[in-house]
Each structure stands twice: as C-alpha cells, then as structure tokens.
C-alpha cells in the first residue's frame, strides 16, 4: 500500500497517531508509536477498519457517531485491544482535518493512561469499600467529631430522618441538626439529652425517639476511638415503629376479621392454619375445622401451580409479603382465580410470629381481562401477536436469557414484491395471502416461540433459547415453506421473503436494537437479490450511517448548487470528428472531498434523491446544449437517466418543457437508458419511449450486454443507438470472448439499423479493432477525459 503523504510527519510525534478515511473508516496511516502501543508489527495497521481496534461496545457506538458525522472534534477516554489480547486504557482525540481543497481525513491522537488509571482505580476501590461498609449496616449511621461536626452518614440515616434533597447535596451541619430538631415530637427533651451525651465523651447510651411523623426510632450512642483516645461519636438509629405497631395491628385485625368480605386465614410461626373467617368458607367451601393444621402450601398447591407456590413462599420469607394471582380449586373441584396477599408478622428480632393470608375470587375479572388483551395484543387479520405483545414477549425473553446466561434469536421477515399483489389483485386478495403466509410460518417454529406481525407484510419470529445455528435452521425452513406455490381463486403463484437475523445479546439488549439490526440485515438481503437470509453484522450499521451521511450531504449539495457537470467527447471512428458529448455528474464535498459517482449514485438511487438530482442534470445539460448550438456548434449531448427518474409520471413532459424553454431542437439530446429500466414495466416503458421518439429525442441503450438483454425490446422500442459497456472493451483485442461479444453487438446493431458506440476506449489497438469492425463511434481517455464546459470550448469548439 502506498505510504500516506503525512506518514513522515506523524512519525516525528511522541503521541501514537493514526489517520482514518472519513468515508470507509479505515486506517490510511499510523506512526511507529501507535504500532508499539498495540504491540503490532510496523505497517500492519494499514487498511484495517478502525472498528477492529475497539475493545468495548461503547467504542463501536462512538465510531458509529463519527460515521454519522455527529462531531468533527471529540476528546474522550477509551480502551484499545493489544495484539496479545490485553486491554490498555488510553486518552483519545479525534479531529477532522482538511487535506488540500477537496479531501479530508480523521486524525486520531492517543496517549497511554493505563498506569494513571490503575492508581485511580485502587484509590476508588478503597473509598468504595469504606463506603460500602457504612452502607451495609441495617441501621442508620451518623458519625461526628467531639465537637459535633458531622463527618459522615449513610443513606438509611437520611431515609429514617427524611432529609430533603437540598441537604443531601450540600454540607450544612447546622441545617441538618435543625431539621432533626424539627422532626422531634419533644424537641426540648431531645436537645437536653444530646447535651448530656456531648459533655461525656466516653458515655454509652440507648434512647427511644418519637418523631412528629409517628415514626419511633431507637438510638444507640457509642464513643469512637483512635489510638486509645476518643475522637468522636457514632450514632446508630433503628426504626422500631413496625415492631410496636404489629401487636396493635393484630388486635385491630381481630375486630375486622369476622366481618371482612375477603377470605382470611391466620397461621402460626410454622405456617399451620390456626383460624379462618366466615368469608373463607363461603369462597372455598372448606370449614375452619377442616383447615386447622393445614398449611398454605397444602391449600394452594395443585398439580399446575406447585412450583409457583414454592416460589411465593420463599419470597414471603425473604421479603415479608407476597401479592399476586393464583389458580385454586374449591372443595367441589371447581377452579377459580384468587387475588392473594400474604403477610409475615415478625417480632423485634425478625422471627416469624404469624402469617396472614387474604384472597378473593377474580375469575370473572380475569375472563374479561383476557378478552380485552386478545383485542389489544393480537393482529386482527392474522390472529398473530402484534407489536405490543411482541414487546412483552421480548422483555420476558431478555429477562430469562440474562438470568440463564443464554441467547435467543429474532428473525425480521419481509415478503418480496408483496406490493405488486395488492396493487394488481387488490387488498382483500393480499389479506388472504397474508393469512396463508401466517399458517406456513406457524409450521416453522416451536410452541415456545412467537410469530408476530408488525404490519403490512412484515413479520417477526422470536426463537427462545436459540443460537446462530438454530436461527439458520428456522430461516431455511421458512424459505423452503414459502417456496411451495400458493393457490387462491384458481391462481397459482409464489411468495418469497427476505429475512434478517439478530441474536441476543450480541446484536442488542432491547427490542428496539434487535429489530433495528435484524431489519438492517434484512435490508442487505433485499440489496443482494431477495429470497434469502442474513445475520446482522455491526459493519451494517456503520455502512447505513455512512449512507445516511452521504444522503444528507447530497441533499445539501443540491440545495447549495455544489454539483457540476463535466462532458466527455464522443467521436466518429471513421473520421475522428466530434459528434457529441456525454454529460457526467461530478461532486466535491467540503468534508469528504471529491466523491466518486460510484459511491454516491447508488445511495442516491436507494434514498430517492436521484430524482431531483436527475432533474437538475437534465435541466443543466439541456441549457448547456442550447448555448453551444446558439454559438454555432452543432453538438449532441447524451444524458444518463435513472430508473426512478424514468418512472416519474411527468418525465416526458418535463423534457419537452425544458427543450421548449431553452429553444433547443430535440435531436440534440440523447437519453441513455439501461436495459433494466426498459424491461421492468415493458408497456409503460414503450409508451414513454414512443412519446420521446415522437418529440424527436434520440434514445440509446447504455451498458448494453451487461443486463438481461432481450432482442424483442430492440425490435419494439424506438431505439437509436447501442452503447457497448467498457467491461467488454478493456481486454480488446487480446481476449477472445470480448472480441466475439463486441463483434456480435456491432453486427446486431447494424442489422437492426442502429448506431453503435463503444465507451472506455483507452488504447490505439482498441480503436483499430473497433474501426475494423465498423463501430460507428467511441469515447474514452484515448481521445479525451471528461472536462468542464469551459475546457471543452477551449479545446474543441469554435
């Protein structure tokens, strides 16, 4: 690879330096310091994608931002991966540097901060451990010096006293003590007690504090020692409100126990039922005598929910309460849905005294809710889960996979050319096709998986606990299932699909990311011919962002008149006389430099901006042709036409208007169309071509022989000229196949009374061969490269 012009300059810098191409995001130069930092051989970084050096997902997102053009100057800390796999902490600055007038490069400067970061990490770890110790206690802790100045407190202390946010974010001891005084029911007695404690540095004390809020705190005061001498005090606070209130609550519960409409049972510490209320018998049909000595596990555990009961009892022991829904059976065997609340009553030491259970019948509510959910979460046409239900299923899959350290797959499926079915046969017919597709998709997945419809002809398959191999098997099964012919109303047809695959957690940690990335992968399938599947790769996002950046830049260029036309001469082979020129689009961007049409034209066609660009090219070329002809130069201008531009309803009218506005004879304009444009919709193409021919505009087939050539359209369409693609010219006359193809095209054109022109002619041997075969015209570097209108006028026109 040729050394970058800046290579010698960056070698003289102490910092590690790399230069990165702003479009491809590939390394074009790196100094020796960079290779030494990464432990790589000199020159081994050239040509590599910058994303290959990323050691963390955040760095991949960072370069996606750079690719999207979000910043020209970024200073940050990050991590890089060395050749031996080790990670190095670095400080990085990325700067967009203009190189000359028409190009740019990202300059990335890197400093090794691993040693400094290691010292900082050790210090942070020590502080975190000390803080964690303070926070791990079950009591609220306040630490002061001997003068009462606050040295530290934990979150539980702030929570017990209800400290407002402004006191948590500023150091104000006076304000905190004032707040505590205000919270006390008897502030005077509280202050006297604190005064006694402060006057006795070695005093140990235990007090009960009653707050205005009704909360009751137990305070234990202990002196704090260092090297045998008191240096301050540690106050620990514990909320004993619950312990004191439990007995009162039980007494109150006894009063409402008999009259409650909820079914209630109470157990002893071993969870054996000691009593039930009248509503319990009305709901369950079991009497209190029949329930005595039984446990909630025995009462609620049926074959279908034994595991759930075990889990809720564990949660009850751990948290002290549980609430939820559970299916149970009455004494006569009838099933009903319970809404259950279970509470553990504890003593002051946290030991269980009793368990209380409340439950009510929710069967009717559940039935109504089920019906509502069916309407809200299912697609009306196919009966599949819709986007809302799919979100819930994906959230569940993420929770399960993160807990089990497993993966799952998301397949984004889009039917190919489905719009043609709706447009030609109507939406009701299309809906029936979607229903048949749904039935076939159901055959391709397991019962635990989910098939959902997002809308239109887009489907998503969620494959639980599936890896890449499982996802591929399912994708192939879907393609095979859909390949079988469909039959509706006596019609037989085939429906194919393009499938993109994203895997959790590698390709995203949320539904939005997974669907976006699977959609991106599916889009690449569409680009490459459809009816296939493809796994997501991170480079797809960077490629998408680069295309978005180019699309935005093109729209800006169109708005600010940054496009320009160059013209390449077309000459008569027999005489060397200049017959015409081909208008070729050129673009220099202030950030990206000179951008090749090979890069930006496909993006323009993909995004649709090719239509306004094509209209600008048409107007500009016709205006220039009119000027030349007014100046006495009889010159034909050839203009390339894109498929989207040709498909516009006003395409012919816009050309006619431009010719009339510029007072230009139609035969001075030659439109170059590719074969794919003509055969996409033959009847529509024929009407437009006949209208153009009637107008007097010349029509040529561009890149002839590279597409799906058909002799029938040459016979039907009013074509004036065939243009031999440059791919057949380059190896002439040495390549026998190219000789045969070019000879056949020339003879075919002449047999059909068409002119023929060869493009890409660069050598005298190529020109001689074409002249021998009686090719009519040529264009290429042998005669002239494309040039500005001013250059063309100076060299070839009068």
Q: Is the pLDDT of residue 464 over 60?
A: yes
Q: Supply the pTM of this predicted model.
A: 0.46
- pLDDT, averaged across the chain: 86
CA–CA separation, 629 vs 624, rounded Å? 9
How confident is the model over 260-284, as a mean pLDDT? 87
For residue 608, the model assigns a pLDDT of 82
Question: Domain 264-341+352-367, what fold?
Answer: Beta-Lactamase (3.30.450)
pLDDT digits (tens, 9 = 90+) for 169-224: 888 888 999 999 999 988 888 888 888 888 888 888 889 898 888 888 999 999 98
Q: Is the pLDDT of residue 42 over 90?
A: no
Helices 597-607 and 538-559, packing angle to 10 deg? 90
For residue 375, the model assigns a pLDDT of 67
Going by the DSSP 8-state scheme, the letter that residue 3 receives in this structure is: P
Structurally, at CATH architecture level, domain 137-239 sits in 2-Layer Sandwich (3.30)
Q: Is the pLDDT of residue 364 over 80?
A: no
Q: Is 524 left (phi over 0), alpha (psi -120 to 50) or beta?
A: alpha
**163 Cβ contact partners less than 8 Å away, ≥ 6 residues apart:** 176, 179
Q: Is the pLDDT of residue 374 over 70?
A: no
CA–CA separation, 57 vs 541, rounded Å? 13
Sign for the CA dihedral angle at 691, 692, 694, 695 comes to positive
CA–CA separation, 338 vs 359, rounded Å? 6
Nearest 5 degrees, angle CA 720-CA 722-CA 725? 155
For residue 247, the model assigns a pLDDT of 67
- Residue 70 confidence class, pLDDT cut points 50, 70, 90: low
- Nearest CA to 92 among 63, 119, 121? 63
Question: Domain 381-536, what fold?
Answer: Alpha-Beta Plaits (3.30.70)
For residue 334, the model assigns a pLDDT of 82
Q: Are 224 and 233 in contact (CB under 8 A)?
A: yes
For residue 421, the model assigns a pLDDT of 84
**What is the DSSP secondary-structure string of 463-525?**
ETT--HHHHHHHHHHHHHHHHSPEEETTEEE---EEEEEEEETTT-SSHHHHHHHHHHHHHHH
* 204: its two tokens: 């140990």
Nearest 5 degrees, angle CA 539-CA 544-CA 548? 145
pLDDT digits (tens, 9 = 90+) for 501-519: 999 998 888 888 899 899 9
Q: Is the pLDDT of residue 786 over 90?
A: yes
Question: Domain 569-584+607-796, what fold?
Answer: TIM Barrel (3.20.20)
For residue 514, the model assigns a pLDDT of 92
Going by the DSSP 8-state scheme, the letter that residue 787 receives in this structure is: B
- Residue 538 confidence class, pLDDT cut points 50, 70, 90: low
Domain pair 7-118 / 137-239, same fold? yes
For residue 544, the model assigns a pLDDT of 60
How confident is the model over 254-263, as a mean pLDDT? 77
The winner for highest mean pLDDT among 167-181, 373-387, 540-554, 770-784 is 770-784
Location of structure tokens 């191999």: 469
For residue 758, the model assigns a pLDDT of 94
- Nearest CA to 121 among 79, 69, 82, 92? 79
For residue 669, the model assigns a pLDDT of 95
Q: 399 burial class (0-12, 13-18, 19+ CB within 10 angstroms)?
A: exposed
Q: Is the pLDDT of residue 253 over 70?
A: no
Which of 66 and 443 is assigned the larger pLDDT? 443
Helices (H), 228-303: 241-257, 278-284, 288-291, 296-300
For residue 250, the model assigns a pLDDT of 64
Q: Is the pLDDT of residue 61 over 70?
A: yes
- Residue 302 confidence class, pLDDT cut points 50, 70, 90: low
For residue 739, the model assigns a pLDDT of 92
The proportion of the chain whose per-residue pLDDT surpasses 70, expressed as a percent, equals 94
CATH for the stretch 7-118: 3.30.450.20
How confident is the model over 260-270, as a mean pLDDT? 86
Provide the residue ranges of all domains of the chain, joining segments of one domain with +: 7-118, 137-239, 264-341+352-367, 381-536, 569-584+607-796
Window from 406-420, 454-468, 543-557, 684-698 with minimum mean pLDDT: 543-557
CA–CA separation, 409 vs 413, rounded Å? 13
For residue 542, the model assigns a pLDDT of 57
Q: Is the pLDDT of residue 365 over 80?
A: no
For residue 40, the model assigns a pLDDT of 87
pLDDT digits (tens, 9 = 90+) for 112-151: 877 777 777 777 777 677 677 777 788 889 999 888 898 8
pLDDT digits (tens, 9 = 90+) for 564-583: 999 999 999 999 999 999 99
Q: Is the pLDDT of residue 372 over 70?
A: no
């Amino acid at each position: 690879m040729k050394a970058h012009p800046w290579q010698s300059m960056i070698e003289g810098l102490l910092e590690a330096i790399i230069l990165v191409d702003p479009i491809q995001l590939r390394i074009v130069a790196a100094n020796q310091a960079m290779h030494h930092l990464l432990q790589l051989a000199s020159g081994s970084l050239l040509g590599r994608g910058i994303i290959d050096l990323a050691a963390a997902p955040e760095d991949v997102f960072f370069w996606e931002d750079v690719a999207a053009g979000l910043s020209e100057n970024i200073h940050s800390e990050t991590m890089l991966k060395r050749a031996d796999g080790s990670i190095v902490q670095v400080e990085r600055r990325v700067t967009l540097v203009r190189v000359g007038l028409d190009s740019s490069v990202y300059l990335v400067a890197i400093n090794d901060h691993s040693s400094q970061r290691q010292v900082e990490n050790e210090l942070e770890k020590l502080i975190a451990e000390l803080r964690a110790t303070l926070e791990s206690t079950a009591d609220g802790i306040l630490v002061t010096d001997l003068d009462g100045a606050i040295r530290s407190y934990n979150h539980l202390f702030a929570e017990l006293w209800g400290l407002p946010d402004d006191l948590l974010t500023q150091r104000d001891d006076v304000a905190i003590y004032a707040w505590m005084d205000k919270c006390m029911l008897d502030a005077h007695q509280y202050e006297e007690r604190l005064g006694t404690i402060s006057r006795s540095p070695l005093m140990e004390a235990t007090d009960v504090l009653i707050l205005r809020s009704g909360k009751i705190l137990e305070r234990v005061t202990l002196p704090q020692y260092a090297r045998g001498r008191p240096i301050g005090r540690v106050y620990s606070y514990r909320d004993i409100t619950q312990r004191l209130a439990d007995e009162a609550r039980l007494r109150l519960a006894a009063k409402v126990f008999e009259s409650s409409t909820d079914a209630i049972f109470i157990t002893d510490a071993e969870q054996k039922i000691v009593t039930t209320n009248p509503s319990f018998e009305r709901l369950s049909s079991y009497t209190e005598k029949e329930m005595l000595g039984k446990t909630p596990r025995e009462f609620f555990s049926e074959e279908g929910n034994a595991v759930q009961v075990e889990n809720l009892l564990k949660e009850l022991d751990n948290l002290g309460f549980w609430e939820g829904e559970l299916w149970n059976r009455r004494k006569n065997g009838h099933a009903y849905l319970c809404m259950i609340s279970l509470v553990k009553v504890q003593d002051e030491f946290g030991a269980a005294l009793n368990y209380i259970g409340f439950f009510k019948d929710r069967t009717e509510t559940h039935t109504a809710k089920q019906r509502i959910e069916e309407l809200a979460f299912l697609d009306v046409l196919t009966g599949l889960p819709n986007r809302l239900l799919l979100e819930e299923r994906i959230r569940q899959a993420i929770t399960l996979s993160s807990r089990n350290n497993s993966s799952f797959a998301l397949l984004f499926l889009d039917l190919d050319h489905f719009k043609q079915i709706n447009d030609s046969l109507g939406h009701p017919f299309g809906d029936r096709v979607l229903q048949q597709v749904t039935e076939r998709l159901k055959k391709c997945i397991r019962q635990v998986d989910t098939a959902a419809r997002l809308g239109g002809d887009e489907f998503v398959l969620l494959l639980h606990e599936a890896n890449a191999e499982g996802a591929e098997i399912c994708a192939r099964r879907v393609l095979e299932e859909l390949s079988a012919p469909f039959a509706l109303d006596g019609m037989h047809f085939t429906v194919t699909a393009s499938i993109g695959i994203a895997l959790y957690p590698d390709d995203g940690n949320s539904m939005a990311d997974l669907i976006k990335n699977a959609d991106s992968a599916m889009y690449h399938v569409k680009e490459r011919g459809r009816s296939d599947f493809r796994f997501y790769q991170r480079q797809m996002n960077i490629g998408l962002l680069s295309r978005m950046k180019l699309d935005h830049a093109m729209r800006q260029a169109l708005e600010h008149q940054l496009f320009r036309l160059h013209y390449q001469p077309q000459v008569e082979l027999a005489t060397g006389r200049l017959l015409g020129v081909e208008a070729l689009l050129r673009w220099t961007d202030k950030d990206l430099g000179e951008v090749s049409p090979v890069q930006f034209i496909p993006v323009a066609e993909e995004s649709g901006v090719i239509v306004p660009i094509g209209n600008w090219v048409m107007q500009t070329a016709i205006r220039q042709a009119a000027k030349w002809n007014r100046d006495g130069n009889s010159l034909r201008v050839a203009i390339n036409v894109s498929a989207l531009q040709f498909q516009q309803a006003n395409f012919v009218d816009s050309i006619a208007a431009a010719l009339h506005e510029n007072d230009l004879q139609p035969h001075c304009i030659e439109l170059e169309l590719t074969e794919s444009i003509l055969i996409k919709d033959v009847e529509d193409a024929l009407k437009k071509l006949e209208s153009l021919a009637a107008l007097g505009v010349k029509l040529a087939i561009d890149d002839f022989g590279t597409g799906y050539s058909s002799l029938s359209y040459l016979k039907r369409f009013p074509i004036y000229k065939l243009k031999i693609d440059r791919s057949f010219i380059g190896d002439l006359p040495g390549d026998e196949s190219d000789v045969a193809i070019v000879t056949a095209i020339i003879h075919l054109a002449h047999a059909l009374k068409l002119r023929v022109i060869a493009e890409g002619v660069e050598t005298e041997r190529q020109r001689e061969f074409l002249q021998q075969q009686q090719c009519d015209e040529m264009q290429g570097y042998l005669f002239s490269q494309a040039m500005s209108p001013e250059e063309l006028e100076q060299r070839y026109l009068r």
